[in-house]
Amino acid sequence: MAHSVHELFGSRDRILGLPFQLGWEADDLFFAVSGLGLALSLHGKKPNWLTFVVARAKRIYVPYWVTVVAIFAFQGASMAAGQWDKPFGGPFTESDWICNFLLLRSNTFNPFSSHYWFLYTLIELYVLFPALYWLIKRFGLRALVPLLIFHSLWLHHPRGLGLFSQASTVIYWMASFCIGIYIGVKLGEDRAKTERWLKRLLPLGLVLFAVGTLATFRQPLDPIVHPLLGLGGVIVAYAICSLPWHLPRLTKISFEVYL
């Protein structure tokens, strides 16, 4: 992930690999689509939150545990064979094992790998989802706007929360998730009208996405980055998915597997 405009275009390899340097954009779009998909999946249903929690836990924890076990098996075999491959560091304390096993973000734990950071965030967002969904579905923009303001104010002046300081980093990604929930709710209520608005807002989406991308290179602008990339990313992604040359069946299968 590039952290400055100069770094982004610093070499030929950087320019050719430009799509792989836009990490913030991918992260915000991921969380926005997560919120959108979850909200849309509840359309016309009375939420059964116990079933929701169990289903989401299975879709995160089971693949995660299988992957972790496979990596540890590979690591053990590599070390036994005298190879240098060691994907996971260590040593790990008992607290580390519990936090890694349950994907809990503690203040002083040693994660297996930094690449799993988004799973910790996703677990927290899933826990918050019932409340966020209820607020946004009931109050619409009157709930979304204060949530985005809270997000921006927190990034501008974050507060320490003691034992929950690490867990509170979920607020950094909450904006995109909430935007996704709002769009998902609107798609469920009136799909045709919402899709028309998404098409009309494409020029605005491109501007928001571009401004958000440039803002990632200036730390003082962090409070507005995630709302810009979340909303702009969803609008642009919708336009791309609406193109006539995409593969509808493959798109549907991919979305279902993701959810």
Residue 142 has pLDDT above 80, yes or no: yes
- Which residues, including other chains, have CB under 8 Å from residue 140's CB and lie 6 or more apart? 182, 185
pLDDT score of 133 more than 90: yes
pLDDT digits (tens, 9 = 90+) for 10-38: 677 666 666 666 677 888 999 999 999 99
Nearest to 174 by CA among 193, 203, 152, 207: 152
The pLDDT of residue 178 is 97
Q: What share of the chain in percent tops pLDDT 90?
A: 40
C-alpha separations of 192 from 135, 218, 253 in Å = 23, 38, 22
Least confident among 106-110, 161-165, 240-244, 246-250: 246-250
CB 192 within 8 A of CB 47: no
> Residue 174 — very low, low, confident or very high, per pLDDT cuts 50/70/90?
very high
Residue 126 has pLDDT above 80, yes or no: yes
Strand extents, DSSP E, 25-117: none
Q: Which two tokens stand for residue 7?
A: 């770094």
Rounded CA-CA distance 232/226 in Å is 10
Residue 253 burial (CB < 10 Å; 0-12/13-18/19+)? exposed
Residues belonging to the chain = 259
b/e sequence 189-216, b meaning 16+ C-beta within 10 Å = eeeeebeeebeebbeebeebbeebbebb
pLDDT digits (tens, 9 = 90+) for 181-226: 999 999 999 999 999 999 999 999 999 999 998 888 888 888 999 9
- The reported pTM is 0.84
Q: Are 233 and 209 in contact (CB under 8 A)?
A: yes
Average pLDDT, the chain: 84
Closest CA to 230 of 1, 18, 22, 26: 26
Distance CA 222, CA 21 (A): 18
Per-residue confidence (pLDDT) for residue 258, from 0 to 100? 45
What span, in angstroms and rounded, lies between the C-alpha atoms of 109 and 93?
8
Which ranges constitute the DSSP H helices of 116-190?
A: 117-139, 141-156, 171-189
Query: Tell me, what amino acid is at 32?
Result: A
